Amino acid sequence: MRRSTFGPAVLALLASCALASGQEAGYPRDHHPWGRFPVGSWKFVRTSSESIDEKGQITNLSSTDTRATLLSADDAAYTLRSEITVNIAGRRIPMTPQTVKHGYYGEPAGRPLAIKQLGEAPVTIDGKTIPCEVRQVAVDVEGGKLTSTLHYTSLVAPFVLRRESSLEGVPEEKRNATLVEVIALDLPQKIKGDIKPAMYVKTTQTLPHGKKITLEVHCDDVPGGVVAHWASETDSTGRVVRRSTLELVDYGLPVVMGEPVQLTPRRAHRAAKAARRMDGR
């Protein structure tokens, strides 16, 4: 398998949109990092976090274990169950499991979207120029409106290569702007003892009182895509106030009649090959 989608969650889910206003909104399920896997697929990750005071001392060190399982999926939506345990000062505190159903654009299932096609523009990664469709997607969330401008291609994983988003119509302390960029394709990543191809995605989030930068590693072979991240949050003066890392502990596919379900291997088109195909049109 060679498909991956970036993503924290909203980017991955907003990946594909209807081609024009008035058309039926459709998302290729096999482009989605959860939708393309069989029901029962799961992954287990551990996130370690620390806060840093004004003297540079680490405070509030903690970690969170999360096991996410795909409960259902069809062409319109998917449902995840998350079992979370917080580890603080040697204590393990289980949280109430959460079950959430999403549409493939990032919206709660059934939430309407406003979609526009804005034309075409290329994205350059690793020196390769990749033609993309530029699309705008707007959805009502958290009492406001989240508007995203996407550079989308169906030929090169992880499909959405750039996204700029802003949350408006909410109180000042909740407003934010986000830039997500795929910065590398097909880099080797060791996962459970095997070397697999991975994509690197950088997210820069501008917050009311600072900034948060996250670097994620995505691998198509793993349900949910994300296998690692490193994040740093700064205040308005540029001082680091929080840091976190995420690591993949384990993942798996369902077992049927004693044999694990196998996905059909799919090799994503290389950027250069996709560009040549587009140039030949």
Position 267 scores a pLDDT of 47
CA distances from 233 to 25, 101, 177, 228, 230 (A): 36, 29, 14, 17, 10
Point out which residues pair with 43 in neighbouring strands. 68, 251
Residue 158, preceding bond cis, omega within 30 degrees?
Answer: yes
Give the tens place of pLDDT for each residue, 11-34: 333 433 333 333 333 568 888 899
CA dihedral 163, 168, 170, 176 (to 10 degrees): 40
Give the tens place of pLDDT for each residue, 70-88: 999 998 889 999 999 999 8
Least confident stretch, 86-100, 109-123, 171-185? 109-123
226 contacts 198 by C-beta, under 8 angstroms: no
Position 259 scores a pLDDT of 59
Task: Note the pTM of the prediction, 2 decimals.
Answer: 0.80
Residue type (1 letter), 193: G
| Contacts of 264 by beta carbon, 8 Å cutoff, 6+ apart | none
Distance of CA 14 to the CA centre of its chain: 9
Position 49 scores a pLDDT of 96
pLDDT band at 158 (very low <50, low <70, confident <90, very high): confident
Give the tens place of pLDDT for each residue, 174-228: 888 999 999 999 999 999 999 999 999 999 999 989 999 999 999 999 999 999 9
Position 277 scores a pLDDT of 46
Strands 210-218 and 259-260: unpaired
Query: Quick one: which of 44, 36, 38 has its CA closest to 1?
Result: 36
Above 60 in pLDDT, residue 238?
A: yes
Query: Quick one: which of 44, 176, 27, 192 has its CA closest to 102?
Result: 27
Position 26 scores a pLDDT of 52
**Structural domain spans, the chain:** 9-279
